[in-house]
Amino acid sequence: MKEKEFIKQNLIHMRIKESLEEKTGKAAEIGDITLEKTPLGEKIIISTTRPGLIIGRGGAMIKELTKELKQKFKLENPHIETAEISNPHTSAQVVATKFAKELERFGPSRFKGIGYRELTRIMAAGAYGVEIVVDGPIPGARSKKWRFYDGYMKKCGFISDNLLDKAHCDAVLKKGTVGITVTIMHPDTPLPDKIDIVEATKSEPEVVEEVVEEVVEEVVEEKKEEKPKAEKKEEKPKAEKKESKSTKKESKTKESKE
């Protein structure tokens, strides 16, 4: 039963994403749509490079989207928020939509230039590796697959299935539809063969030595201060003895004179 519920929820999420993408279009350049459940209702965060197009004038676009979500998917209280993407070349979905827009605008003759340009920009943004696959009737009438790649990319295993940023977008041309898939391996992806060597810091033992030296110096100074005090105490009785001897001599001289 739990598996069926998870499948239903994922299907609803997928349909919500598709409806939002159809409504906003490719001009908004939506990167990712996340759905969260809160005590007040459903929270939908749309990450995009152009949040103004999603908000609209006076929030008119967001109001339309919330009405559609309530009617189609029967959500009680959907709350839509926008998050701006600072660097569009770090999101695979934004790159795929840009590629599709430019193919629809300029035609299939310039697809190689667009592919290599996006490749260099993604690598300049700090990615480990990139792969762009263009599949369809391009540049001729027959369908063909073109691959643009650079850097280091995991092609199998848990990392390639779950931790890579993958996206797909379709470009509708006169000859037919062309599919564009973009895969980006970000620098923060955990790798099992990646080892970070940490250099030993020398500041900690130096601090300990300084503390020890200070303690030793304080002990030596205390001992030096105690020694003169003891000497002074010993000198006092000697002086008293000398005074008693001198008084005895004076008394004897007086007696002899008498």
pLDDT, one tens digit per residue, over 237-255 is 444 444 455 555 555 555 5
The stretch 207-216 carries a mean pLDDT of: 52
Q: Is the pLDDT of residue 46 over 50?
A: yes
Q: Is the pLDDT of residue 229 over 80?
A: no
Q: Is the pLDDT of residue 227 over 70?
A: no
pLDDT, one tens digit per residue, over 126-179 is 999 999 999 999 888 888 999 999 999 999 889 999 999 999 999 999 889 999
- pLDDT number for residue 168: 92
- pLDDT number for residue 124: 93
Quote the DSSP letter at residue 54.
H
- When pLDDT is cut at 50, 70 and 90, the band that residue 52 belongs to is confident
* Under 8 Å between Cβ of 149 and 132: yes
Distance in angstroms (rounded) separating the CA atoms of residues 15 and 12: 5
Helix (H) or strand (E) holding 215: helix 203-257
Of residues 47 and 18, the one with the higher pLDDT is 47
Between 12-21, 31-40, 236-245, the lowest mean confidence (pLDDT) is in 236-245
Angle 124-125-128 (CA atoms, 0-180°, nearest 5)?
Answer: 85
pLDDT, one tens digit per residue, over 93-127 is 999 999 999 999 888 888 999 999 999 999 999 99
Mean of the per-residue pLDDT values of the chain: 80
- When pLDDT is cut at 50, 70 and 90, the band that residue 35 belongs to is confident
User: Model-level pTM?
Assistant: 0.68
- pLDDT number for residue 252: 54
Going by C-alpha positions, the residue among 124, 128, 104 that lies closest to residue 116 is: 124
* Token couple for 82: 């926008």
Distance in angstroms (rounded) separating the CA atoms of residues 233 and 212: 33
